[in-house]
Amino acid sequence: MMTVGLPEVGGGTEVTTGSIASKQERPKSLNVRGVDVMAVGWQDWLKGIAFVVMWYGSILMGFFSLYCPMLPLLVISLPIYRKATEIVFTMWECYAVALMEVVFGVRFFLSGDLIRPEETSIIILNHRNRLDWNFFWGALAHATYPPTHNCKIVLKSGIRKFPGLGWIMQMSCFLYIRRRWEDDQRLMNNVLDYFRDIDHTFQVLLFPEGTNLTPATQKKSNEYAQKTGLPCLTHVLHPRTTGFTFLVNKLRNSEQLDAVYDVTVAYPKTLPLTELDLAKGRMPEEVHFHIKRRRKNCESGWGRYGWRKTSCWRSPLSKDISLAVQMPLPTLHSMSPTFPFSSGHPSR
């Protein structure tokens, strides 16, 4: 059963989904490829390959049967075309989440604030593995009410050439970056101006760390911290703040920005790292998300929690993230249920 609570926290409605998690031993190191990793059997391979076929096959079929027929709308009405692609992509996201929940029994636990789809907002998410974006669709499916979000992910430009998936994300106006700031700034400017011109509400998902957390990337992050006098972080990397700062300033100056969502993801049990883990059937039993909404006019909160370029993700925000990764999310145990909802969203 899924439950939702109503007390206001940080300008949003606090939400918790999933059944109460039992106490368990939490990961204590990044050595996920060590002896603690369970061997993959043929049943796992079978389930993994079935998942990939159904997941990727639905993308290819959706592109040719749904997205391509919508192309004439580009010359008829840009707002209608944009709305149509958003609806189709959101429906597919729900399908992908259902695959994870039904085929693998993945359980999503959410706490904190609801994500408001009627807002134009920035969502920042720590990058625990290369598949965070895929699992984040579970958070969007259950924490967005009503489920009509228009989330755009900031991705590496190479993905745009991937057959099916990359093409659909291009048509959905995802933001592809090349890690050359002059090019990236021009692209972001063009996309954000386009959304403003057609009066489109959207959310931007950004991974401020720029890459996923591994022993190698953590070492580089700590070396950077020692050179610049910053604290060494355990469960996150020091972020690249240029893109985040630009997005905030651009949207605020054009009066588009309504809120910034600080989201923490944690995998308390199995931790898949790469796409190959999906094919092997190595899926997480649980994925935990904690969502904190910051209002656009909450200057003191932004400064305190490191939203500014000079203090992004310093204490106490980094401590909050470390605590969330090491321990079960406290609201899963402490919140009393208010009313149940059967399909992932509260009924009015």
- Tell me what the mean pLDDT of segment 314-328 comes to: 35
The token pair at 214 is: 């591994």
The structure tokens listed for 74 are 């580009």
pLDDT in tens, 125-161: 999 999 999 999 999 999 987 777 889 999 888 888 8
- The model's pLDDT over 50-102, given as tens digits with 9 standing for 90+, comes to 999 999 999 999 999 999 999 999 999 999 999 999 999 999 999 999 999 98
Q: How many CB atoms lie within 10 A of CB 242?
A: 14
- Whole-angstrom Cα distance, residue 168 to residue 36? 38
Q: What is the pLDDT of residue 25?
A: 46
pTM of the model: 0.77
Mean pLDDT of all residues in 326-332: 31
Residue 160 phi, psi (nearest 5): -65, -20
Tell whether the model's pLDDT for residue 241 goes beyond 90: no
| pLDDT the model gives residue 236 | 86
CA-wise closest residue to 315 among 257, 248, 236: 236
Contact 213, 128 (CB under 8 A): yes
Q: What is the 3-state secondary structure (H, E, C) of the chain?
A: CEEEEEEEECCEEEEEECCCCCCCCCCCCCCCCCCCCCCCCHHHHHHHHHHHHHHHHHHHHHHHHHHHHHCCHHHHCHHHHHHHHHHHHHHHHHHHHHHHHHHCCCEEEEEEECECCCCCEEEEECCCCCCHHHHHHHHHHHHECCCCCCEEEEEEHHHHHCCCHHHHHHHCCCEEECCCHHHHHHHHHHHHHHHHHCCCCCEEEECCCCCCCCHHHHHHHHHHHHHHCCCCCCCCCCCCHHHHHHHHHHHHHCCCCCEEEEEEEECCCCCCCCHHHHHCCCCCCEEEEEEEEEECCCHHHHHHCCCCHHHCCCCCHHHHHHHHHHCCCCHHHHCCCCEEECCCCCCC
Q: What are phi and psi of 125, to 5 degrees?
A: -135, 135
How many angstroms separate the CA atoms of 153 and 168, rounded?
Answer: 12
Q: CA-based Rg of the chain, rounded to a whole angstrom?
A: 20
CA distances from 311 to 212, 240, 294 (A): 21, 11, 16
